[in-house]
A and B are shown apart, each in its own frame.
Chain A
Amino acid sequence: MSLVEAQGLRKYFSTGSGFVARYFSDERVHAVDGVDLEIERGQTMGLVGESGCGKSTLGNLLMRIHEPTEGTVSFGGTDITALSGSELRPYRSEMQMVFQNPQNSLNPKHSVGKILRKAIEFHDVAQGDEADALARQYLSDVGLRPEHVERYPHEFSGGQQQRIAIARALSVDPEFIVLDEPVSALDVSVQAKILDLIEELKVEYDLTLLFITHDLNVVRHVCDEVSVMYLGEIVENAPTPELFEDPYHPYTRALFDSITLPEPGELEAGGGIKGETPSPIDPPSGCRFRTRCPEAMEECETVNPELVERERDTTAGTRRTACHLYDAVDD
């Protein structure tokens, strides 16, 4: 059964900050525009896409950090978009988040112990000395020393700060953690350590993860399933091995072509994606990728393809692709 499920999720932001812009302007940034997503219990779902595709906004919507413009998010069968603030509170401890830059998400004026204790006590996991003991325990779980509770965030390296952020997320005993580019700001040697830690903790604490990243090399190693986003929509969704074996959507294929490996050689001419992502304020009609797609057809201009199952290979897991190229195959 799926733990987290989004249906018809949309989030539009008004472009101006003033009263007039907010209420009288039609200009909206279509950050997330009609997303259906299911994350199975115990799975790691990778969410990939380039800057501005809406992947972080989607993560925030699932946490209900943003209110959706339209659509629902259910967590363990409960529609959390319909809940009031106090009703939502028990769910908050079930859903946690780890961000890209720990310097920005850890209060520099609080000791690490206080940062963890505040989370533990706020969500009423434990109080007082018991909370303190838990804080120490979680610190050692993420590979730091229990006595580090006395130190402040600036006394740690970037990798260690990310460990603290992970410890804080874990400390309220969540079921689901959204990791938003958790290793993108780290050096490769540190990145490998944190990815290892995430894998380990996932098993130990029986977690379900949404791993938001732009790095497809990382996705291959940590995710069970991958959703590819482009301009506010999910264009392809498949189990990781199948997706890497045979990406269906032209955007996914182009993204894969852009991956660089540390192997000496020339950049292949023609690899990668031409041009830039169009503005999410006024996305192209029909398929949003058609303006950059090497295989765009007439139909793509008018009809936006739906994200539906295109199960060409019965041995592969279920996969969905939003592309007219595969319409004929299914008929």
Chain B
Amino acid sequence: MSVLQIDDLHTYFDTESGTVRAVEGIDLTIEAGEIVGLVGESGSGKSVTASSIMDLVQHPGRIADGTVRYDGQDVLSLSEDELAELRGGEISMIFQDPMDAFNPTQTVGRQLHDVLRSHREGSVHPLVRALGLDHDADCKAAVVEMLDAVGIPNPEARYSDYPHEFSGGMIQRAMVGMALLCDPKLVLADEPTTGLDVSIERQILGLFKDLVEELDTAVLWITHDLSVVAKLCDRVVVMYAGKVMEVGSTEAVLSDPASPYTQALLDSIPRYDRPDEEMYVMEGDVPDPLNRPDGCRFADRCPEVHDRCHDHHPPRFDTGDREVACYLAEGDAE
């Protein structure tokens, strides 16, 4: 059974100007121990997809259609209590800005301790927690061990440091530690290395990959950066304007993209090893989310557009090593 299975997910936002269809029919599965990259530019719906998985879509957003199954159970029909049990426990999240995710008034160690404690023995009375009486030596030892595992030097001492006393790289390591603390089956990581320097990003990617392999954790890694996907993910899902354009093994999709959008995205990235190649400049802009075309979402910018592309958004054709939402792949479909 897949750890995560999303079928035909639609998430809409009802705004004054109309309904924004942020996510329009996403299908996605993640198997145990698999790292899946969800790639797209701003407005592609990748972050909304992640919030939908945890049923965290805020008003005026709503999940209009589709199902999200975690380990076989329908997440969208769970009660708040059941969801709370799941979040941070079996499913955890890593965010782009750890400074926003940590409470600045509590030590990092304490915050990790609380996460572990609350998922370990059911709930603790809020008063007990407020008075700090729930402190547990076992939990502290586990937290120190985790801080050590994510490469924080001198973890015993850093346990009592506040978030602002950590550097950007170190606090992101702590965040990774917090996400893995309860031995989750699934980690949702939303652009966790985007604000970091390349050398630090590299360290964190290496560390993260080793840890999840060891723990056999499934990961959905959301990013706009194809070079991160290339080094980290087993499979990749390319999104554009709320739709999946191409899904397949990272190897297949990045070495030989079948969707013109994936190709255009790759060609827009400047590369130091190809100084004489002009960067590809995609024509036009991402379609207005209030007024998306009826046909293929990418048709207006596509260098290989045909008449029929304007009529319907293409279905996904299975060509063996991947699925491609493009009529060009129709002939190769199995």
Number of interface residues of A (CB under 8 A): 42
Taking the complex as formed, is A78 at the interface, i.e. its CB lies under 8 A from any CB of chain B?
no
Taking the complex as formed, is A271 at the interface, i.e. its CB lies under 8 A from any CB of chain B?
yes
Chain A residue with minimal CB distance to B205? A267
Render A252-270 as a binary contact track against B, CB cut-off 8 A, 1 for contact: 0011101111111111010
Give Cα A221 to B41, complex, Å: 22
Taking the complex as formed, is A66 at the interface, i.e. its CB lies under 8 A from any CB of chain B?
no
A residues less than 8 Å from B275 (CB atoms):
220-221, 241, 244
Render B252-284 as a binary contact track against A, CB cut-off 8 A, 1 for contact: 001100000000111011111101000111100
Give the distance to chain A from B160, nearest Cβ to Cβ, in Å: 20
Question: Chain B's interface: helix, strand, loop or mixed, by majority?
Answer: helix
* Residues 35 to 77 of chain A near chain B (Cβ within 8 Å): 50-51
A residues less than 8 Å from B198 (CB atoms):
50, 214, 216, 255, 258-260, 272
Give Cα A216 to B169, complex, Å: 20
Instruction: Spot the interface stretch: A184-192, A204-212, A299-307.
Output: A184-192
* A261-B281 CB under 8 A given contacts A267-B206, A271-B202: no
Contact between B268 and A188, CB atoms less than 8 A apart: yes
* A50-B264 CB under 8 A given contacts A260-B228, A264-B250, A265-B231: no
Taking the complex as formed, is B226 at the interface, i.e. its CB lies under 8 A from any CB of chain A?
yes
Chain B residue with minimal CB distance to A197? B281
Of B169, B206, B282, which one neighbours A189 at CB under 8 angstroms? Answer: B282
Taking the complex as formed, is B230 at the interface, i.e. its CB lies under 8 A from any CB of chain A?
yes
Give Cα A108 to B266, complex, Å: 34
Of B170, B200, B279, which one neighbours A195 at CB under 8 angstroms? Answer: B279
Taking the complex as formed, is B79 at the interface, i.e. its CB lies under 8 A from any CB of chain A?
no
| Residue of A217, A220, A271 most packed against chain B (CB within 10 A) | A217
B residues less than 8 Å from A146 (CB atoms):
none
Contact between A260 and B282, CB atoms less than 8 A apart: no
How many A-B pairs fall under 8 Å by CB? Answer: 118
Give Cα A188 to B194, complex, Å: 13
A residues less than 8 Å from B169 (CB atoms):
276
* Residues 258 to 314 of chain B near chain A (Cβ within 8 Å): 264-266, 268-273, 275, 279-282, 285-286
Chain B residue with minimal CB distance to A49? B197
Of A215, A220, A241, A266, which one neighbours B231 at CB under 8 angstroms? Answer: A266
Give Cα A227 to B143, complex, Å: 42
* A272-B203 CB under 8 A given contacts A188-B265, A192-B281, A193-B281: yes
Of A188, A193, A258, which one neighbours B41 at CB under 8 angstroms? Answer: A188
Size range of the chain B interface in the assembly: 35 or more
Render B36-53 as a binary contact track against A, CB cut-off 8 A, 1 for contact: 000001100000000000
Give the distance to chain A from B259, nearest Cβ to Cβ, in Å: 14
Taking the complex as formed, is A174 at the interface, i.e. its CB lies under 8 A from any CB of chain B?
no
Give the distance to chain B from A163, nearest Cβ to Cβ, in Å: 12
Of A157, A244, A258, A262, which one neighbours B229 at CB under 8 angstroms? Answer: A262
B residues less than 8 Å from A187 (CB atoms):
41-42, 224
Give the distance to chain B from A56, nearest Cβ to Cβ, in Å: 14
Render A224-259 as a binary contact track against B, CB cut-off 8 A, 1 for contact: 000000000000000001001000000000111011
B residues less than 8 Å from A263 (CB atoms):
227, 230, 254-255
Chain B residue with minimal CB distance to A157? B285
A residues less than 8 Å from B202 (CB atoms):
258, 260, 267, 271-272
Give the distance to chain B from A151, nearest Cβ to Cβ, in Å: 15
Contact between B268 and A189, CB atoms less than 8 A apart: yes
Chain B residue with minimal CB distance to A50? B197
Taking the complex as formed, is A34 at the interface, i.e. its CB lies under 8 A from any CB of chain B?
no
Taking the complex as formed, is B330 at the interface, i.e. its CB lies under 8 A from any CB of chain A?
no
Contact between B230 and A260, CB atoms less than 8 A apart: yes
Contact between B203 and A188, CB atoms less than 8 A apart: no
A residues less than 8 Å from B154 (CB atoms):
none
Chain A residue with minimal CB distance to B301? A189
A residues less than 8 Å from B250 (CB atoms):
264
B residues less than 8 Å from A264 (CB atoms):
230-231, 250-251, 254-255
Give Cα A218 to B231, complex, Å: 20
Of A195, A217, A266, A273, which one neighbours B199 at CB under 8 angstroms? Answer: A273
A residues less than 8 Å from B271 (CB atoms):
217, 220, 261
B residues less than 8 Å from A147 (CB atoms):
none
A residues less than 8 Å from B228 (CB atoms):
260
Taking the complex as formed, is A158 at the interface, i.e. its CB lies under 8 A from any CB of chain B?
yes
A residues less than 8 Å from B206 (CB atoms):
267, 269
Taking the complex as formed, is A196 at the interface, i.e. its CB lies under 8 A from any CB of chain B?
yes
Contact between B280 and A217, CB atoms less than 8 A apart: no
Taking the complex as formed, is B167 at the interface, i.e. its CB lies under 8 A from any CB of chain A?
yes
Taking the complex as formed, is B110 at the interface, i.e. its CB lies under 8 A from any CB of chain A?
no
Chain A residue with minimal CB distance to B251? A264
* Residues 7 to 56 of chain B near chain A (Cβ within 8 Å): 41-42
B residues less than 8 Å from A157 (CB atoms):
285-286
Contact between A192 and B282, CB atoms less than 8 A apart: yes
Contact between A217 and B270, CB atoms less than 8 A apart: yes
Additional pairs, 16, CB under 8 Å, beyond known A50-B199, A263-B255: A51-B168, A51-B197, A157-B286, A189-B282, A190-B41, A193-B281, A195-B270, A217-B272, A255-B198, A255-B199, A256-B272, A258-B198, A261-B230, A261-B273, A262-B226, A263-B230
Q: List 6 A-B contacts (CB under 8 A).
A: A188-B224, A188-B269, A217-B271, A256-B272, A264-B254, A267-B232
